[in-house]
Amino acid sequence: MYPHELFWGISLYGIFIAIGIILCIVALRVYGKKIGIDPKFLDFVELNAYIAIAIGFIAAAAWQGLYDYLSNPEMGFKMTSGTTFLGGLMGGTISFLIGYWLFGRKKYNSKLIDVLPIIPCCILIAHGFGRIGCFSAGCCYGKPTDSWLGMVFPEGSPSFYAYGPGVAVYPTQLFEAIFLFLMFGLTSYLLLKKNFKYNISVYLLGYGIFRFFIEFIRDDDRGQFIGQLSPSQFWSIMMVIASVVVFFLMRKFSPTPKPENKANI
């Protein structure tokens, strides 16, 4: 584990983030080709995704700044190196939708709904490697534990400064990475083998429930948001609700074709 820079200002955290982004784009390209998405539309989606990723990182830092401000208004609002995934997901998603609405909606015959089943696969593979990056940096750590699942992070990691040397904590980063890779496998199977159209709902529901409960053993304070809920728990509830809304919206705008009745001859 390397919580510090390796060389030239590059950390292992940054390397895993870069791997995740690359594999995100690879998944978009490969899966898009397999399900027959227009190559020109894929070019647009990829470019739009790069912009959304950049804006997502800014949004992740801005949301964390907001959480910090709500917890301690006396310190004022400021953006630090801290980020929150769900804030970045919201910012990136909004940016992507605006880009599509302004520049892609009328230009291509393909519709956004055609590429939506691929998007969760792309997010999941990127997020999974991102969580491995968190593990390498020691951030997003869990609560102290005597369980065999606990790990002692090295000197220089955030949990080391929080609890001191020799204290084992839950490696929640690895728990989440494993879950994300399993969901990536599931959504990929549903897309490529079953031609499943509702991967967005599967992702929102699955990750929303998982993130809500794993927050009970995470211990890196992200500030308070609504009542006793952590910011991530609040947005997890919103994801679960959104999964149902998106499912019915997609059923309305992308109905399953009915089998044709063949007349007996």
Per-residue pLDDT at 49: 94
The identity of residue 72, as a single letter, is N
- Count how many residues are written for the chain: 265
| 198 falls within a domain | yes
Q: CA–CA distance from 154 to each of 14, 82, 124, 162, 170 (Å)? A: 19, 20, 28, 12, 14
Contact, 118 vs 32, CB < 8 A? yes
Residue with tokens 């800014």, as numbered in its chain: 58
* Mean pLDDT of each 10-residue bin along the chain, 265 residues long: 58 90 96 92 93 91 74 68 78 92 81 90 96 90 93 86 89 97 98 94 97 90 69 92 95 63 44
Q: State pLDDT tens for residues 107-146.
A: 877 678 889 999 999 999 999 999 999 999 888 899 999 9
pTM of the model: 0.87
CA 55/CA 60 separation, integer angstroms? 9
| 45 falls within a domain | yes
Residue 142's DSSP bridge partners are 218
| 137 falls within a domain | yes
The DSSP secondary structure of 108-167, one letter per residue, reads: -SS-HHHHGGGHHHHHHHHHHHHHHHHHHHT-S-B-B--STT-EEPPTTSHHHHHH-TT-
| 259 falls within a domain | no
Per-residue pLDDT at 93: 92
Q: CA–CA distance from 26 to each of 33, 159, 244 (Å)? A: 11, 34, 29
Per-residue pLDDT at 8: 61
Per-residue pLDDT at 35: 92
Per-residue pLDDT at 263: 45
CA 148/CA 259 separation, integer angstroms? 54
CA 27/CA 200 separation, integer angstroms? 15
Half-sphere exposure of 152 (CA within 13 A, CB side): 7
Contact, 23 vs 130, CB < 8 A? no
The identity of residue 135, as a single letter, is F
| 71 falls within a domain | yes
Per-residue pLDDT at 71: 67
The DSSP secondary structure of 196-249, one letter per residue, reads: -S-HHHHHHHHHHHHHHHHTTTB-S-----BTTB-HHHHHHHHHHHHHHHHHHH
CA 207/CA 179 separation, integer angstroms? 9
Domain that holds residue 185: 10-253
Per-residue pLDDT at 256: 53
Could you give phi then psi for residue 261, rounded to 5 degrees? -85, 125
Q: What angle do CA 186, 117, 249 make, to 5 degrees?
A: 120
| 180 falls within a domain | yes
How many CB atoms lie under 10 A from the CB of residue 228? 7
In the chain, the number of structural domains is 1
